Amino acid sequence: MAEEDLKAELDRLKAENERLKAGHNRSMSLKVSEKGGVSVYGLGRFPVTLYKEQWAKLLDMAQEIRAFIKENEGRLKSKGD
């Protein structure tokens, strides 16, 4: 390969690597944990893992959680704060 071709390939691979890193940080995914729980990846540094019954209870509380957050907006921090 010519030097120009190698540089072009290196630039392409660097761009692809950055694209993959950026996409990975923003995406969320679900997996079954070793112990049979549901793990959500992509919220923070570590996954959030609960058993299916726990997820069902939490999801049933979605409206209450949203109302709580709205009521306490002034006291709560965002991830970037």
Tens digit of each residue's pLDDT (9 = 90 or more) over 10-50 = 998 998 888 777 765 568 999 999 999 999 999 999 999 99
1 or 41, higher pLDDT: 41
At residue 80 the predicted structure's pLDDT band, cuts being 50, 70 and 90, is confident
Structural domain of 61: 3-71
Q: How many domains does the chain have?
A: 1
62 SS3 class: helix
Residue 79 domain-assigned (yes or no): no
Q: Which residue has the tokens 């993959």?
A: 20
Tens digit of each residue's pLDDT (9 = 90 or more) over 43-71 = 999 999 999 999 999 999 999 999 999 99
pLDDT in the model for residue 26: 63
Tens digit of each residue's pLDDT (9 = 90 or more) over 12-22 = 899 888 877 77
Q: For residue 27, what is the DSSP state?
A: -
Residue 77 domain-assigned (yes or no): no
Residue 7 domain-assigned (yes or no): yes
Distances (CA, A) of 2 to 6, 7, 8, 13, 31: 6, 9, 10, 17, 44
